[in-house]
Each structure stands twice: as structure tokens, then as C-alpha cells.
Amino acid sequence: MKKTMKFPKALLCAAGAILLSACSTVPSGPKIDRNYSSVAQDSRAMFLILHYTALDWEKSLKVLSSGGQVSAHYLLRDEPAISYQLVDENRRAWHAGQSFWAGNQNLNAASIGIEIVNAGYSDGPLGRSYASYPPAQMDELVLLIKDIVARHQIRPDRIIGHADIAPGRKQDPGPNFPWKRLADEGLIPWPDAEQVAPKRALLEVFPPDATWFQERLARVGYQIARSGEFDQQTKNVIATFQMKYRPADHSGVADAETAALLDVISTPGGMLMSVPGRAPEPYSWRW
């Protein structure tokens, strides 16, 4: 009588599982060849937007990291001056909100946001006052901006404030923010003072109307209606413009100095870029 070999049941089950697995193997993902790269590309980060938190360090960190409603790629502490990355630069942070600049809307998807720990403003008997920025904090900010710009090739005219993209609704980073320091560091363009002075004298005699201001402000990048009147929206945008380029007086009044600055900034050849070791060079706006 022929004897039949018997195999342990567990061994048979294991062998069967291996055979089934081999027969049903499915590729784990697409076969992607990354040996080629197109020259027609740039960073998704088109804009760098600067904010103040209007809160102290502890509250700023809590709101931006666990508040659930807002976030930023970086939080810059005041004391000590340290930059904290809260969102990866390749991901979208929720810092810009409803926003517009030079034809671009809803800038969260195309920007990197830096929140600077700063108390913002307070209203008192003598009016509104804004908190200052410690020098060490601004030193750190310059280094951070240079690092981000170098990696993403963000254009100088696209380093802007929260107020620029939402005038009237937002005021940050406020009139005490040292925009001129950024210009001196070669990060943003600045109006040519030699062109501003003669234009101011002329515009004292021939002041432009509201339509002129609205058209020039729109050319710079602001969202503004062409109402032909110095309405509240126009005053808000003028005040925002003044906070950056004439912070000593940001009342929103359309005076000759503001008109001269606006005329120079919105005219080709009117903006200069600081270049280390050389005289400032004209900056060409890409209208």
C-alpha cells in the first residue's frame, strides 16, 4: 500500500498565500522618470507678505499654531529675535485673507507670509499710536527675507505689507515698519528723491484730481474703484501708500508730496534699487 505524505496545515496555508501574492502583485505607483526638466517654470511663491501680530509672543504663537483660523509660514519673535517656521513653504498658510495686488487675488495660494511679533496700534486721547520694532528683530527679518527671496526669486515689487493687499481693512505692518531699511538692503525699490522734489513743487501749483490719484494707485498695484471722488476707499488706499513711503503723515489727505511720490513711483525710471558697491540702479516695474 502506497503511503501519502502529509504536510502541516500551517505550511500549506503559508505556501498558498505566497503563491496568491505573487500572482496578484500590482505596481505600487506610477513609473515616473525625472531626468528631464522644463525651463518654463518658477516658484509658486510669487509674493512675500509682511504682517504684525498685534499680540505678544505667547499669544501670537498660540493663535498661529493652534488657533485654527489663521497661520503663517514664519513667526518672528521680538525678544529674543528668532524666526520660527510654522508652515512649510510648499504648503499654503492662511495669512492673507481676502486680498488683491496688481491683478492677483486671494494671495494665500501664491505667497509666503511672515508674522512679526508687534503690539500693533492703540487708540488714546492723542489719537492712534503704533508700536516700534526692535533693531535686533529687524536684523533677523532682513536675513529671513534675503533667504526666502534667494530661494524663490521673489520680485522686489512683490515684497509687500498686509495693508497693501487689503487697504482700510488692515494696517499692518504699520507706519513704524522700516520699509526704507529694506530698500537700503537692496530688497525693495524706492522712489528717486531727486525726481520727487521738482514734481512736488509743480503739483503744489497744479494739484491732480481724484481720478488721477485712483489711476496711479491702481498702476502701483492697489485695488481701487475709479469713482472720481476722494471717497473713503480712496482715502484708505492713500493712507496705506503714505504709511510706506511717507510714514510721518499718513492721514490719507491727497497732498502735493503724496502726489509727487505717487507720480515718481508709477512712472518708468522713477524707482531705484540699491546695489552693494555701486550707485543705485533704476528698477523696471513690470506693469
Taking CA atoms, 5 is separated from 2, 8, 9, 147, in Å, by 10, 10, 12, 73
**Degrees to nearest 5, angle at CA 79 with 185 and 87:** 75
pLDDT of residue 67: 81
Please write the tens of the pLDDT for every residue from 190-208: 999 999 999 999 999 999 9
| Sites in the chain below the pLDDT cut of 50 | 1, 287
* pLDDT score recorded for residue 3: 52
Interstrand relation of 111-116 and 74-76 (parallel, antiparallel or unpaired) = parallel
CATH tag, 47-188:
3.40.80.10
CATH 3.40.50.720 is right for the domain spanning 191-283: no
Q: What is the DSSP string of 120-133?
A: -EEEETTEEEE---
Nearest-angstrom CA–CA distance, 45 and 91: 10
Give the global pTM.
Answer: 0.88
pLDDT number for residue 14 = 54
Q: Which has the closest alpha carbon to 171: 53, 20, 24, 92?
A: 53
For the chain, which residues make up each domain, given as ranges? Answer: 47-188, 191-283
Distance between CA atoms of 251 and 240, rounded to whole angstroms? 9
Q: Is 92 exposed, middle or buried, given 0-12, 13-18 or 19+ CB atoms closer than 10 A? A: middle
- pLDDT of 276 reads 87
Kindly state the cell numbers that stand for 82: 528668532
**Residue 68, pLDDT score:** 81
CA-closest candidate to residue 73, choices 121, 173, 144: 144
Q: Which residues are catalytic?
A: 115
Q: Do 192 and 147 form a contact (C-beta atoms < 8 A)?
A: no
pLDDT of residue 32: 95
pLDDT digit string, tens, across residues 94-107:
999 999 999 999 99
State residue 113 phi and psi, 5-degree precision.
Answer: -110, 135
